[in-house]
Amino acid sequence: MAVRRFWRPLMAGSQCQEGKALVHSIILSRRSRSQLLPMPWPARRLLQYEQPSFSLLSMTLTEFTMKGFRAFLAFLILGLLSTGWLQGAPDAEQAKTLARLGKERVEAARKTYQVMWTNYREGRYPADTLYRWSVRWLDADRQLSDQAADQLAAYKTHFERMRELERLVISVNRAGQATVDEVSSAEFYRAEAELWYLQARIGK
């Protein structure tokens, strides 16, 4: 009964901050558990749940911060990779290979066009085949350099080829060896090539 009378005011006072502090000070002032007064279970549960777990809260916040930082870092790396900032430029060996393949493409288109030009005059290929290979030659020339002067020169050379083709088709038609549609097709090829050349000159 005496113990209950002792703890009852403490439990009543524990409803405020001063009471809680008093309970903690009494318990912590003892040197061993044997010196503590018998404690009813409400007081024990009060002390058990009132002690804050700052270490657990700190650990939770740290883990959350680290996870967020790792996710941010992963998104940042993916973004840099997608924009090419972390991708190295082609090395010298790759650049040489690209240049060599580009020149080989131009040379192959040139040879094919010249052979077909000769064969057309002998009636072996239609004018449309010459036109398609001239455009391929133009594309190969343009991909060798992105300089404006080189681009203009490629368009000019294609225009000159198509102008010469138109003259040849007209001449063959007068000899009775070319149809009217071949003449109109050659006119289209020349007009298109001239348009591309003029657009390149004015920067369109």
Residue 117 and residue 41 share a domain: no
Number of domains the chain contains: 3
Residue 145 has pLDDT above 80, yes or no: yes
Residue 93 has pLDDT above 80, yes or no: yes
Residue 44 and residue 21 share a domain: yes
Residue 193 and residue 125 share a domain: yes
Q: What is the pLDDT of residues 100-144, one digit of tens each?
A: 999 999 999 999 999 999 888 777 678 899 999 999 999 999 999
Predicted confidence at residue 38, as pLDDT, reads 54
Residue 180 and residue 101 share a domain: yes
More confident residue, 189 or 2: 189
Residue 124 and residue 62 share a domain: no
Burial of 119-151, coded b for 16+ CB within 10 Å and e otherwise, reads ebeeeebebeebbebbbbbbebbbeeeeeeeeb
Q: Which domain range does residue 78 map to? A: 58-88
Mean pLDDT (whole number) for 73-98: 69
Residue 196 and residue 100 share a domain: yes
Predicted confidence at residue 203, as pLDDT, reads 84
Residue 170 and residue 126 share a domain: yes
Instruction: Dig out the tokens for 67 from the structure.
Output: 């996870």
* Residue 88 CB burial class (10 angstroms; 0-12, 13-18, ≥19): exposed
Residue 126 and residue 195 share a domain: yes
Residue 127 and residue 66 share a domain: no
Instruction: Dig out the tokens for 128 from the structure.
Output: 């449309």
Predicted confidence at residue 165, as pLDDT, reads 95
Residue 179 and residue 84 share a domain: no
Instruction: Say what angle helices 127-144 and 148-174 make with each other, to 10 degrees.
Output: 170
- Looking from the CA of 118 toward its CB, the CA atoms found within 13 Å total 5
Residue 150 has pLDDT above 50, yes or no: yes
- Looking from the CA of 75 toward its CB, the CA atoms found within 13 Å total 6
Q: What is the pLDDT of residues 40-83, one digit of tens each?
A: 555 555 445 444 454 544 555 565 566 666 776 776 777 666 65
Residue 112 and residue 72 share a domain: no
Q: What is the pLDDT of residues 17-32, one digit of tens each?
A: 555 555 555 555 544 4
Residue 98 and residue 34 share a domain: no
